[in-house]
Structure 1
Amino acid sequence: MSLRVAVQMDPLQSIGIAGDSTFALMLKAQELGHTLFHYLAEDLGYLDGRVIARARPVTVQRVEGDHFGEGDAVTLDLARDVDVVLMRQDPPFDVGYITATYLLERIVGETLVVNDPRSVRDAPEKLFVLDFAHFMPPTLITRSIGTLRDFHSAHGEIVVKPLHGNAGAAVFRIGKDGQNLAALAELFGHVWKEPFIAQAFLPAVSEGDKRIVLVDGDMAGAINRKPGSGEIRSNLAAGGTAHATDLSPREREICEVLGPELKKRGLIFVGIDVIGGMLTEINVTSPTGIVAIDKFNGSDTPGLIWKAIDARLASR
């Protein structure tokens, strides 16, 4: 069945097509005969009871420097003019992002939104994971320097990061001497209004941080991301490198426990992060990694995602 698909994402001209997951999804959609539209989150609006977007029809191709073509802008009624909305703009998960989820939630009964906007809003990466704390390393969320000092004393080495950060930005390791701990807490308090998160440092990060992708609750594949020289961050956007991997029994158990909850929430495309058998994040806003996974495994994760979308549409 040919679908009309609106993709809410960042500017197409700015993406790196070699590894971009949204671009891979668009290429597969086009291969399947679907019609694509592209719009920015800022082009989303509401008029007289309808959720609208000023969008452009697009075609895509895997050619560096010439990877998309677009037509004239049109105003789409997202409940009537399209079958699927892919909500794929990158974080930060701020008030603008949250507002987009409120608007898109209004069309959920008529158009399939991937991932479900209410669930995206209710499941920010570093908070939703707290529902599965028994799989996590020791974790603290606070704005208190005193509480942070106590946590550091208890665990020796810790990692401190913003609660709604992404792509490995502003992730700091604090050694046993606690040097710069107070200054870092003060900085986080000035830059962000929300609390920050601290976790016990996992030495196993030197061996890699696994990104495991689940499609409608089922494990679809994984890569092991290793930090670059002198780094603790293994995110590919922060200089990490991708390697083929298998899942341990512990990692399979995590997937089996998370899968049914993700499926129930309408979270079709999810990436979880696991270090040394410890779950650290559940990524639902704009997960990445499927291009690298398919490269190593010879798989077709975009195809699996579109198959899951078809199944959701058929069951409506």
Structure 2
Amino acid sequence: MDLLFIADPLESFKIKKDSTLAMMRVAQEAGHHLWFCQSRNVLWKDDLVVADCQILAIKPSSSSWFELGGLELRSLKSFSAILMRTDPPFDIEYLNTTWLLSAAVKQGAKVLNDPAAVRDHSEKLSITEFPELIPPTLVTRELSAVESFHQIHRDIVIKPLDGMGGMGVFRVGADGLNLASIVETLGENGARTLMVQRFLPEITQGDKRVLLIGGEVVPFALARIPQGNEIRGNLAAGGKGVAMPLTDAENKIARLFAPILYQRGLFLVGLDLIGGHLTEINVTSPTCFVEITDQSGFDVPQFWLKALEKALS
């Protein structure tokens, strides 16, 4: 198979734990051909969606781990699959890329995750489809609404809808210290919508990342555990990642979501669970492949590849 990875610059990869690199490596080992481009290299030309892309070889050296061929202009429908692995934020340029990829799908390209499904599933707002599984939640631009929510729940978390890696997440306790200032700053004085949730003390046991691949559930989660006085478990915010088997409750939630989201065109999904509550549905570039594999012995990249080959057969 010819696999095109649309991703961030290869030089930016954290090679010891990058999930996209793990996908590339296992696909190459299986004999598939790798291609690479950035989202800026995808364009509409001569009535086709095409990409200025390069053939990619993964090398064993850690200091110089990849080799790229010369630029080639290829239609996206000529690839066996296109893997969209560009990291958020989901800004206007990310959105533009999904529209181009949707045009490519209409021309016969196979894009994973399906770009229309990615657009339809805001990683934070999509949880509102399942209110019985989420903590008490408010989505608003209004400071007064946040203040009323705080009066009810006393201990809350405020975050922007377009953040990633724990960026811009604030906790406000019962004293309400700096509540107005935080809302005004994060919300840019009412210009940006915020999500507010009741604080979940179970975060001390970890923010669990559960992977769904090809409609199936990876049986281990990565618990991202906050360190010190930090409330954020995100690895990018200094959290400690600990792989552990899914609990019965987590497995039940994951098995509920796996077929539903797969039927919608979401091949790879990362559910975030805190104390059995659903907090995010990650569909852009879910990670944690390497950490789960290294700690549990369950080969997530191989699981991903087998699911990919099955989906494309």
Fold equivalence (TM over 0.5) = yes
Q: How many residue pairs get matched?
A: 311
Answering whether residue 54 of structure 2 is matched by residue 61 of structure 1, we say no
> Offset of 1:62 from its aligned partner?
4.7
Aligned twin of 1:268: 267
Secondary structure of the 2:278 match is strand
User: Contact 2:77–2:110 (CA<8 Å) still a contact in 1?
Assistant: no
The match for 1:104 among 93, 101, 105 is 101
Secondary structure of the 1:17 match is coil
Q: Give, in whole Å, the separation in 1 of the partners of 2:118 and 2:189.
A: 24
Q: 4+ residue stretches of structure 1 with deviation over 4 A?
A: none
Aligned twin of 2:116: 118
Query: Under a length normalisation based on structure 2, what TM-score does the superposition of the two structures give?
Result: 0.96
1:234 maps to amino acid: G
Aligned twin of 1:32: 30
Answering whether residue 70 of structure 2 is matched by residue 72 of structure 1, we say yes
1:197 maps to amino acid: M
Secondary structure of the 2:208 match is strand
Per-residue deviation, residues 10-48 of structure 1 (Å, max 9, x unmatched): 000111011111010000111111111111111111012
> Offset of 1:283 from its aligned partner?
0.4
User: Contact 1:268–1:305 (CA<8 Å) still a contact in 2?
Assistant: no
Secondary structure of the 1:190 match is coil
Aligned twin of 2:153: 155
Aligned twin of 1:131: 129
Per-residue deviation, residues 227-250 of structure 1 (Å, max 9, x unmatched): 121111111111111113122222
Gaps of 5+ in 2: none
Aligned twin of 1:22: 20
Query: Under a length normalisation based on structure 1, what TM-score does the superposition of the two structures give?
Result: 0.95
> Offset of 1:172 from its aligned partner?
0.6
CA, structure 1 residues 131+46, in 2 after alignment: closer, same or farther (shift >3 Å)?
same
CA, structure 1 residues 201+62, in 2 after alignment: closer, same or farther (shift >3 Å)?
farther
The two structures, once aligned, show a CA RMSD in angstroms of: 1.4
> Offset of 1:64 from its aligned partner?
2.5
Q: Give, in whole Å, the separation in 2 of the partners of 1:244 and 1:126.
A: 23
Aligned twin of 2:43: 45
Gaps of 5+ in 1: none
CA, structure 1 residues 234+83, in 2 after alignment: closer, same or farther (shift >3 Å)?
same
Q: Give, in whole Å, the separation in 2 of the partners of 1:202 and 1:234.
A: 12
Q: Give, in whole Å, the separation in 1 of the partners of 2:89 and 2:190.
A: 12
User: Contact 1:124–1:285 (CA<8 Å) still a contact in 2?
Assistant: no
Per-residue deviation, residues 244-290 of structure 1 (Å, max 9, x unmatched): 31222221221122112111112111111111111100100000111
